[in-house]
Amino acid sequence: MMTPLYKTKLYLNASECNAQRQISLPLLIQRLIETATEHTDLLGVGYSHLSEQSKTWVLSRLSLSMDKFPSINTYYNIESWISMINRHFVERCFAISDDNGNPLGYARTVWIAINLETRRGGDMTEIMSHAPILDRACPVSSGTKIQPVKAPESISTHTFGYCDIDFNRHVNSTRYIETLLNTRQVEFYDQHAIKHFDIAYMDEIHYNDRVTIYTATTGENTTTYEISREGTPVTRARITFN
Amino acid sequence: MMTPLYKTKLYLNASECNAQRQISLPLLIQRLIETATEHTDLLGVGYSHLSEQSKTWVLSRLSLSMDKFPSINTYYNIESWISMINRHFVERCFAISDDNGNPLGYARTVWIAINLETRRGGDMTEIMSHAPILDRACPVSSGTKIQPVKAPESISTHTFGYCDIDFNRHVNSTRYIETLLNTRQVEFYDQHAIKHFDIAYMDEIHYNDRVTIYTATTGENTTTYEISREGTPVTRARITFN
């Protein structure tokens, strides 16, 4: 079914919630990725189709703006559509709403189908030649480029283990985000809601990789994060809190 | 609805899979916990009901036997029912089957509703006085008592962070399991499937707790695990591999 707008209704039960009794940022992003995966499967260009061509989908960038996160024991909706296809990437948008259809937030993501051997992208317009594009408002900017962390205010390290890796044998996209959030104490999140989140996956992290996480305040309520491996940045991210 | 048998049909998409392109043990157990949570909500004795009495559900023990784990891009079913209620605990069973209804495995769990202040259980027969019990085969034994690890073959440490804690502000039950699995390399799991898993949660682990994980071979294909905090065991587990 070549439906341009894919909709899914989900329920957030207690056992899925974070300490603030809401959906956590990593779980929300996991749900967005799952929604994208399901829609892409329906469009006939999912992981199983791509693997026949020795390719796989990777998430390259994500920007998310939330007025309110879905909270414990409530239904929420995710709508997703492809907003742009060009030679280099596919842009996919998401609208998150509550059970009554009131908007909670929006996300904009960039995906690349990479070759499993070369780890480089091909021509997306070929792969997606039959995929429908939807012209629909998605009020979230991809934000300005995330700058390097020059004078880190906190430095921590993490080694990724077996449970952090996905079916591609690379660290799951949401596990990167956990390492960023884990740089702060639980009490901070009682006081500060996440308003805007940007992440740029610059290189894949592998099993057993040991990374360093640098953070810096780069605005009144904004923190910039850099995940670095052997001195080279592999991911940059930025969170604006309320 | 006082349905004694709760059924849910789920789909395992690519983005949810582990390195072996199956459901991971922690995610399967998360799905069992979610299924139990949904059924308990339907029975009117869920988390929101219990919180009015300053109580909450905690998972105390789990035993799981799997012939085969659900694999990538397939549907699977979880059926769940209460098999026993006594003063001290509630026993809940699960049957996991593939899309054609062929059994994949079974689980048996023990739950306690604890008081949020005292962290102790009350009389379960009072709380569950209206809950239906189902007499149905669940071919998984709760196993023999998990023995302490006396002569550890591996010792590792882990500190739990913000993303490891749940809405009760304790470490999520599945995060304990990840620390156990992370003691081995990914290649081990390519060669060895999990056949049987037992876990006994002896004490709650809190945010920022630093734990030590001890492992020992205690049978031909069996590893026993102990998670210890400040010298006191907080969780014991055992895995038999194929």
Q: How far is B170 from A106, CA to CA, in rounded Å?
A: 30
In which element (H, E) is residue B215 found?
strand B210-219
Considering CB atoms only, which of B14, B19, B48 is closest to A47?
A: B14
Question: How would residue B47 be classed by pLDDT, with cut points 50, 70 and 90?
Answer: confident
Residues of chain B in contact with residue A16, where contact means CB-CB under 8 angstroms, are 30, 34
DSSP state of A4: S
The alpha-carbon gap from A135 to the nearest alpha carbon of chain B, in Å, equals 26
> Which residues are paired to A156 by β-bridges?
A213
Over chain A (242 residues), what is each successive 10-residue block's mean pLDDT? 92 93 97 95 91 92 97 96 96 98 97 92 90 95 87 96 93 96 96 97 94 96 97 97 94
SS3 assignment, position A7: strand
Considering CB atoms only, which of A18, A34, A163 is closest to B24?
A: A163
Question: How would residue B168 be classed by pLDDT, with cut points 50, 70 and 90?
Answer: confident
DSSP state of A148: P
Question: How would residue B1 be classed by pLDDT, with cut points 50, 70 and 90?
Answer: low
Q: How far is A201 from A224, CA to CA, in rounded Å?
A: 14
Contacts of A73 (CB under 8 A, 6+ apart): A11, A12, A13, A14, B41, B47, B48
DSSP state of B14: G
B185-217, pLDDT tens digit by residue?
A: 999 999 999 999 999 999 999 999 999 999 999
Sign of the C-alpha dihedral computed for residues B32, B38, B44 and B45 taken in this order: positive
Residue B232 has pLDDT above 90, yes or no: yes
CA distances to A40, A202, B66, B85 from A107, in Å: 17, 19, 38, 45
Residue B179 has pLDDT above 80, yes or no: yes
| A84's tokens | 């742009």
Supply the pLDDT for residue A1: 61
Quickly tell me which residue has 């769990």 as its tokens.
Answer: B109
Assess A38–B contact: CB distance below 8 Å, yes or no. yes
CA distances to A161, B139, B216, B226 from B239, in Å: 18, 17, 11, 12
Assess B13–A contact: CB distance below 8 Å, yes or no. yes
Interface pTM, i.e. ipTM: 0.92
Mean model confidence pLDDT for chain B: 95
A153-177, pLDDT tens digit by residue?
A: 999 999 999 999 999 889 999 999 9
Supply the pLDDT for residue B2: 84
Test B185 with A162 for CB contact under 8 angstroms: yes
Confirm if A122 and A115 have CB atoms less than 8 A apart.
yes
Considering CB atoms only, which of A30, A163, A184 is closest to B162?
A: A184
The alpha-carbon gap from A181 to the nearest alpha carbon of chain B, in Å, equals 7
Rounded to whole angstroms, the maximal C-alpha distance in chain A is 50
Confirm if B138 and B93 have CB atoms less than 8 A apart.
yes
Assess B26–A contact: CB distance below 8 Å, yes or no. yes
Assess B182–A contact: CB distance below 8 Å, yes or no. yes
Separate counts of helices (H) and strands (E) for chain A? 5, 10
The alpha-carbon gap from B150 to the nearest alpha carbon of chain A, in Å, equals 25
DSSP state of B18: -
**How many Cα neighbours within 13 Å face the side chain of A177?**
22
Residue of B nearest to A19 (CA): B167
Question: How would residue B103 be classed by pLDDT, with cut points 50, 70 and 90?
Answer: very high
Separate counts of helices (H) and strands (E) for chain B? 5, 10
Residue B149 has pLDDT above 90, yes or no: yes
Contacts of A149 (CB under 8 A, 6+ apart): A214, A215, A216, A224, A225, A226, A236
Question: How far is CA B17 from its chain centroid?
Answer: 18
B53-80, pLDDT tens digit by residue?
A: 999 999 999 999 999 999 999 999 999 9
Assess B207–A contact: CB distance below 8 Å, yes or no. yes
Confirm if A172 and A235 have CB atoms less than 8 A apart.
no
Supply the pLDDT for residue A155: 97
Supply the pLDDT for residue B133: 96
| Site from B18, B21, B162 to mutate, A interface, most A CB atoms within 10 angstroms | B162
Specify the pairing of strand A74-85 against strand A55-66.
unpaired
* Structural domains of chain B, ranges and CATH numbers in brackets: 6-127 (3.10.129.10), 154-241 (3.10.129.10)
Residues of chain A in contact with residue B11, where contact means CB-CB under 8 angstroms, are 38
Test B169 with A19 for CB contact under 8 angstroms: yes
Question: How far is CA B180 from its chain centroid?
Answer: 13
